[in-house]
Chain A
Amino acid sequence: MHNNYVYIKIPSLSVNESFARAAVAAFCSSLNPTMSEISDIKTAVSEAVTNAVVHAYENEIGEIEIQCRIKGQVVEIIVEDFGCGIADVEKAREPLFTTRPELERSGMGFSVMESFMDELVVLSEKDVGTKVILRKKISEKKQKTLNEEFDDEKSEDD
């Protein structure tokens, strides 16, 4: 089977955060993910894109590129910016670390990406940009009856 992919390029406007996560979620729907898998992916994408909006391009609008690829049952999402880069990636990934507490940043972005996805890779170079790679395996589902699907959605919604 041919591997499916999509490329999205957006300016780093905060209004695009919701578009980016919704677009990635829609692209993943061919793998028939559960509501909770979709919710995890949306949250992780939101974190990565928000980082680019807030930190990569501090006082300017730059570009954010999102590549999304399906490899078997695995979704790979790459969020890339061409902004200021992260001085110390290891430090940035520590829970609750933030360079912008005055903006009410919680410092949890990378922790959320890490715990909601199976894999997180962060590559960054000062004044060149940052590339965040997120991977998640979508569980294979047995064929369900309509009643079972309805019950699942009810319990996930609640």
Chain B
Amino acid sequence: MNIQFIETGQVLTIKLRGELDHHSADEARVLIDEKIKNEKYNKLVIDLKGLDFIDSSGIGFVIGRYKVIRKRNGVIEIINAGKKVRKILDMSGIGKIIKIK
């Protein structure tokens, strides 16, 4: 799992590459939560372009970050999900609370 952060003002884009499962989500959670402790970010954009695999642990991870950012009235958005990744996102119904572009 490779994570890249791009800051644009109050927007933090998180590019995830590789495989997002229970093992890698535990690592990613620590890194990302440390970064978004900085309260200036009010929008998280999760870029899944480089993601080859996701399972329900990955969904739990995204919902977890949504809860963190919502506490400060921020928003979260998912972009560039490929077909395989999209299948799980759609199944989870996560689109009801998070914008998927």
- Chain A residues near B (Cβ < 8 Å): 14-15, 17-18, 21, 35-36, 39, 42-43, 46-47, 50, 53-54, 103-109, 111-112, 115, 156-158
Contacts and interface: CB of A to CB of B under 8 A. Distances in A.
Interface residues of B, number: 24
Given A15-B23, A43-B88, A106 B83 contact: no
Nearest to A100: B60
Contacts of B88: 43, 112
Secondary structure class of chain A's binding surface, majority of residues: helix
Interface stretch (B9-17, B37-45, B51-59, B69-77): B51-59
B53 A104 contact: no
Nearest to A156: B83
B83 A158 contact: yes
Contacts, number: 72
Most chain B CB neighbours (cut-off 10 Å) among A14, A35, A104 = A104
A42 B85 CA distance: 12
A103 to B, nearest CB: 8
A104 B21 contact: no
Contact of A43 (B55, B60, B82): B55
